[in-house]
Structure 1
Amino acid sequence: MTAGLATGIGVVGDPAPAGAASQQQLEKLRNEIDSTRSKVEGKKRRERVLVSDVRRYSDRIDGLQGRIDVLQRQQAAVQADLDVSQAALTRTQGDLRSERARLVRLRARLEESRRVLAARLVELYQADKPDLVSVVVSANGFSDLVERGEFLARIGAQDRRVVQAVRSAKTEAVATEKRLAALERGQRATNERIEARKDEVVQVKGQLVGARSTISEARASRKTLLKSVRGDRKDLESHLDGIEKEESKIQAKLSGMPSGGGSVKKGSGALDYPANGTFTSPFGYRWGRLHGGIDIAVPVGTPVHASASGTVRIAGWVGGYGNYICIDHGGSLSTCYGHNSRLGVSVGQKVTKGQVIAASGNTGNSTGPHIHFETRVNGVQRDPMGYL
């Protein structure tokens, strides 16, 4: 099958003159290409660092968020405890109010009982009962008097009931005061515990939220810088693509390869072109390295044809070649096809000349959609133009 290669890349600027001027322009472009490639690699390294920073900050944010979530659940549990404690505190405060009101009533009863008993003692004294008078006189105050058994034994039943009422009121008042003191202590302890737990939750949560905010700001800053670096890198790559195409044009002109304004004719060799397309780079040394084939620019998905019949020896991903196929044609000759988007054959498969073996692409180390086509003799790369 005979397939011509259309050419469609014009020389940037005025056409370079043949000879020394073109060679000087070529050297200048190669220096610029080397410099631009170095800048692109520098941007890529910076990108990798920034991507690593963003990922690291994201991991830290996720970790902090996890701790905040745990604390949030703890805060909910604390709040539930606080609600229970607050309910108990409310009940305690109600009990306190009730006990204080009751104490006021008891003290009033005590005062009334004392008044009644005092009046009764006056009556007994005026009744001139010497035994009872001697007990009253020897007592150390009213409280001591009502506690004396001999006093109770010498007064009547009615008077004893009055005294018992005074004793009961006094005992109850004392007990109530003790209960009130215990309730007040409990209330203070509850309040202190509630405030301590509140403060702890608020403090820890505030620290975590503050740390998350700081790291989020740092991540946002890295993302902004990453966006800028990526933009610079893409601009450099676009510029690099343009000057590489110009370099290929000049190289093709110097080497005698058609570089524009016509179709490439099939050579005298036995191989067919793998596809119709545009020459973008010839075989030969570039930037101190051998470019071991020719590049044919075609849209992604263009059918790639076997240049001759043979057996597939390689069909898969091979480093910078991306999706790569090599076919053994016998007689130590093989052809190879790089940067494919899809492969249509497998290792060991027999193929015929012109058979579609792949779809072209931009995989591996590629600056744009094209077919990298190689011819090898005993594994050594040769200029394909001598076989086409």
Structure 2
Amino acid sequence: MKIGYACISLGVNYKTNRRFILKNFTVDKFLETSRSNLLDLNKILKYNIDNRIYLFRISSDIIPFGSHEINTINWTKAFKDELLEIEKFIKNNSIRVSMHPGQYTVLNSPDQQTVIKSIKDIEYHCTFLDSLNVDYSCKIIIHVGGVYNNKQESLMRFKQNFKLLSSSSKKRLVIENDERSYNISDVLQLSDSIGIPVIFDNLHHNLNPSLSTNLTEILHKVSKTWSNLDGSMKLHYSDMAQNKKVGAHSDFVDTSNFIKFYNEVLSFSPDIMLEVKDKDLSAIKCINCVNSNFVDINKIWNKYKFTVLERSQSVYSNCIMVVDNGEVLKLYELIDEALALPVKKESLINALNLIDCYLEDVIMYKEKVLLKTLIAKGDFSKAKTLLHRLSAKYNISGLLNSYYFIY
């Protein structure tokens, strides 16, 4: 079983979604931006492996204007070497990658121009995955689309337009239940008629359930849509954000919720894609939780301790106790408790003062005075920004390697 995340890594300063506006499109701009994205993709994959992450969704923006008519560049040839390096790393480390076209890729639209653009977009995603020579377990995920006042006609349009895809795209395409229009029963019905796999999304199912609510029963049906060629069944997991619009993903994965879900699906040995705001940080957490006997709890705590302290002194103290006892799951549950809290003035001052001790013998006197002045004045945002800059300037690894400047 693999656990992964989508597109953006917060733990490292690499990105694969650089882009530019259409009017600025030039061959040089395209080549420069695409090359930077590809080089960083390789770096992100290496970072992932260092953290035992073997499942990753590649950003659709990896190749800017990949499906736009303005882009006539043979980019698979132009980036042959970069793509080969990525291919080798993926294969040598048994990484499973995927892509997920955006909301405007609607294969069942009644508008023919939308369908044409959607097919072009799916083919672009397929071309990218094919350029890596990855097998057909590496999928392109889409939703079924809209209902347009007649669900059965809309499903029929999907079936007809699916026939227009290339052979490779048909082998890569998978469909996912959504939170509004097509529940898991609808998607399974469509899958049965066109023969492609289904991805079960737990949050979408909670918001748009089918007649069957038994997870084991649902996954038994979903698993049958995945052949050996398709690889292990994939699931999407997320928690819903509190006090935001319905369906919004949470800032972080709740440890207790995930472990409950993991134990429920374990017998199916699926790969689990996390859809969450803190991306790789939650992926690392979930991987550590299901391998808690093989992790360094002090290393985990060092990542989070300043973030916890600026939210709650009492939770911070409790964390220290469970670290001493080696309780990994309990530590993550306490960290979740802290992350759900707002930053408190008194706790923030404690965190800033503790961090100031780390810098005491490193930074210049005038920098020390400025930092203490900002803290005394209550200008905490500027104080934290200054801390980040000083940490980078003096290479304070204890701070730079923590999550303090992320949360």
For the aligned pair, the TM-score class normalised by the smaller chain equals under 0.3
> TM-score, normalising length from structure 1?
0.18
> TM-score, normalising length from structure 2?
0.18
Choose between structure 1 and 2: higher strand proportion: 1
Structure possessing the higher radius of gyration over alpha carbons: 1
Choose between structure 1 and 2: higher helix proportion: 1
